[in-house]
Structure 1
Amino acid sequence: MPELGDLIEIFRLFYQHWAVYVGGGFVVHFVQEGGSGFSSSSSSSSSSSSSSSGSGDGKGAFVRKVKLRDAVEDSDWVVNNSLDHKYSHYSPEEIVRRARAKVGEKLRYDLIDYNCEHFANEMRYGVKESSQALRTVATGGLAGPLSWLGSKFKFN
């Protein structure tokens, strides 16, 4: 079981989704309205409030608190605090407080500039960073599919 403030990396077909573990079997994550679109896993919510900041692609993108099992669905997942070596992180209690404070907010989603990984890293480290977005830019948008293929097939 993850510990408070851990980042959860969820492996989807062509990308990874990210969430913050906030205890009691719940995570907070940044998800596009309508469910398992390119940036998200689940659109169920335990919050009904929202404040609009717009959305880069015309779809709503919200911060939601859901059960870990609902965010993961049938995907594999791991605890991934891999930026701990690069940045100092907030205390577990502060990470949870920061994430819970965002629940219900509508934020601008952008695959390259602010996606679910940016959100999760911002909650833990105070830094908006996404290695997934950097790979997407570097490969012209092929990072997710190439990463998935590499994980499923061994090429000699």
Structure 2
Amino acid sequence: MAPTLYDVKPEVGDLIEIYRGTYQHWAVYVGDGFIVHLAPPSEVVGAGASSMMSVLYEKALVKKEDLWDVVGTNEWKINNSLDEECEPRPAEVIVRDACAMVGKELPYCVFRGNCEHFATELRYGKAESRQVRKAGQTVMVAGAAAFLGLGLVALAGAFFGGGKKENKNEK
């Protein structure tokens, strides 16, 4: 079950990860129940898998919205897991920089400049997207498996059917 207003209280500067089914949407908590996030036109509550249409957009708008309006009925959590690797910037700097971005239209690329890149850059001063990295690793593993699979098919073909071919013109 998704956390409610009474279960968990984010701290200023926390990263909020919202589960949208096939992907996660990310935001920065700026206090008083509000978040700042990079929202492509398809990022709306309840959009589900159709939010994957964000790959088609080249621009996104930085918005300041009520956390609960953006979360809707989706599950979410505070996710500052990069704190183990990176030093978070001071909370007041995160909030100042996040709020200064509100209303700006920024370049958007699901692979190089998505909502997670935006949020992690605000918190750590370094844009990173673990879901893009994870997806890339999955694609690489699938590609390697397909490559190996094709190699095994070729090997099996050579072993089982690779004998001398008959030439129909031979007598």
Q: Under a length normalisation based on structure 1, what TM-score does the superposition of the two structures give?
A: 0.75
| C-alpha RMSD of the superposition | 1.9
Q: 1:135-150 counterparts in 2 under 5 A?
A: 135-140=134-139
CA change 1:39–1:31 in 2 (3 A) is: farther
Q: Under a length normalisation based on structure 2, what TM-score does the superposition of the two structures give?
A: 0.69
Q: Provide Cα deviations, 1:108-150, integer angstroms capped at 9, x if missing partner.
A: 1111111100000000000010000111112239xxxxxxxxx
Distance 2:43 2:87 in 1: 32
Whose relative contact order is higher, 1 or 2, with alpha carbons under 8 Å and at least 6 apart?
Answer: 1
Q: Percent of pairs identical after alignment?
A: 47
Partner of 1:84: 83
Partner of 2:108: 109
What is the number of residues matched between the two proteins? 126
Instruction: Verify: 1:5 aligned to 2:13, yes or no.
Output: yes
Distance 1:16 1:35 in 2: 11
Distance 1:39 1:15 in 2: 12
Instruction: Verify: 1:129 aligned to 2:128, yes or no.
Output: yes
- Find 1:29's aligned residue among 7, 32, 37: 37
Query: Where in structure 2 are there 5+ consecutive unaligned residues?
Result: 1-8, 45-50, 141-171
Query: Where in structure 1 are there 5+ consecutive unaligned residues?
Result: 41-55, 142-156
Partner of 1:38: 52
Distance 1:35 1:134 in 2: 21
The answer (yes or no) to whether the contact 1:39–1:115 under 8 Å persists in 2 is no
Determine helix, strand or coil for the equivalent of 1:62: strand
Structure of larger gyration radius:
2
The answer (yes or no) to whether the contact 2:40–2:57 under 8 Å persists in 1 is no
**Structure with the bigger percentage of helix:** 2
Determine helix, strand or coil for the equivalent of 1:94: helix
